[in-house]
Amino acid sequence: MSATVTAKGQVTIPKPVRDFLGLAPGTRVEFQRAANGTVVLTRADEKRPARCFGTLRGHAGKGLSTDAIMALTRGDE
- The reported pLDDT for the residue numbered 13 is 93
Per-residue pLDDT of the chain (77 residues; tens, 9 = 90+): 899 999 999 999 999 999 888 899 999 999 999 899 999 988 888 666 566 666 666 666 677 888 888 888 988 76
Which residues are registered as beta bridge partners of 40?
Answer: 32
Query: Which residue segments constitute the domains of the chain, with CATH numbers given?
Result: 1-51 (2.10.260.10)
Q: What pLDDT does 46 receive? A: 67
What was the pLDDT predicted at 56?
62
Residues near 5 by beta carbon (within 8 Å), at least 6 away in sequence:
11
Phi, psi of 16 (to 5 degrees): -60, -35
Write down the pTM of the prediction.
0.52
Give me the pLDDT at residue 1, please: 87
